[in-house]
Amino acid sequence: MLIDSHVHLNDKRFDRDRDILIRSLKDNGVELVINIGINLRTSIDSVNLANKYHNIYTSVGVHPHAAKEVTEATMEELEKLTENKKVIAIGETGLDFYYDNSPRDIQRKWFKEQLELAKKLDLPAIIHSREADQETYDIIKKSQDGSLRGVMHCFSGDINMAEKYIDLGFHIALGGVVTFKNAEATKEVAKSIALEKLLIETDCPYLTPVPYRGKRNEPIFVRYVAEKIAEIKDISIDEVAEYTNRNTKELFSIS
């Protein structure tokens, strides 16, 4: 049994078969999933979904793409949502300088605010970083007072940056990219970092792993991520499952 630590089952691409898919997870080797909020609306929807199903937990937060929509009232609403016992993280938050869908100064502001909220509530943070490696790291490092913890979601940096995040107390999550033919940096990360710091994910419906690349990604495809990591590390998939399941449950305080 595997845990998919990052899914977006609110996405409209799951509208036609969401309930069937969720009910079939266990039969397809997935113990549980963490559904991710990317703005206030999806955070509310995700809490409702988690309340409906025992095998779904959720985060609440605002993705850098939606940072321009955030107000202080938004942050207050996110904090209220964390009163629900199925909310186990803040995020995904961070910086995205590839698309720049929100102004960079606005991204920075609400990224910092969400890190502070995570510390205040003693919840881990789920971090998105694209084309902003150094600045993402600098903001986290400045915020780190010994109480901040979290995961670098769908990590796309090199091994040097991965080790720097690990030194800050963060975990590294790898997804379908590790199965891509030319993803040498990601494969090096998979090979080099300790199993104790590794999580696996699909980021579904995005970033579908080989051999289903080009199709809608689903939580059950997390197995291909685990298999590739096992191959790269020359260990069994059972060992990958054992460590990544334990790491996920410990990081997010899932009993």
The pLDDT score that the predictor gives to residue 114 is 98
Read off the amino acid at residue 149: R
The pLDDT score that the predictor gives to residue 155 is 98
- The structure tokens 């009910």 sit at 23
Cα(214)–Cα(162) distance, integer angstroms: 27
The token pair that represents 238 in the structure block: 């059972």
Q: How many CB atoms lie within 10 A of CB 206?
A: 16
Measured CA distances, 140 to 37, 58, 71, 76, 87 (Å): 20, 22, 21, 22, 22
Look at phi and psi of residue 94 and say left if phi exceeds 0, alpha if psi is from -120 to 50, else beta: left
- Contact criterion met (CB below 8 Å) for 229 and 190: yes
Phi and psi at 161, nearest 5°, equal -70, -40
The pLDDT score that the predictor gives to residue 196 is 98
Per residue, the 3-state secondary structure of 70-133, as one string, reads CCHHHHHHHHHHCCCCCEEEEEEEEEECCCCCCCHHHHHHHHHHHHHHHHHHCCCEEEEEECCH
Read off the amino acid at residue 227: E
pLDDT, tens digit, for every residue of 220-247? 999 999 999 999 999 999 999 999 999 9
Domains and CATH numbers, the chain: 2-251 (3.20.20.140)
**Which residue blocks in the chain are alpha helix, DSSP H?**
18-23, 40-52, 72-81, 104-121, 133-143, 159-167, 184-192, 222-233, 237-251
Identify the helix (H) or strand (E) that includes residue 35.
Answer: strand 30-35
Cα(63)–Cα(157) distance, integer angstroms: 19
Q: Exposed, middle or buried by CB within 10 Å (0-12, 13-18, 19+), for 103?
A: exposed
Q: Which residues of the chain fall below pLDDT 50?
A: none
Cα(138)–Cα(93) distance, integer angstroms: 15
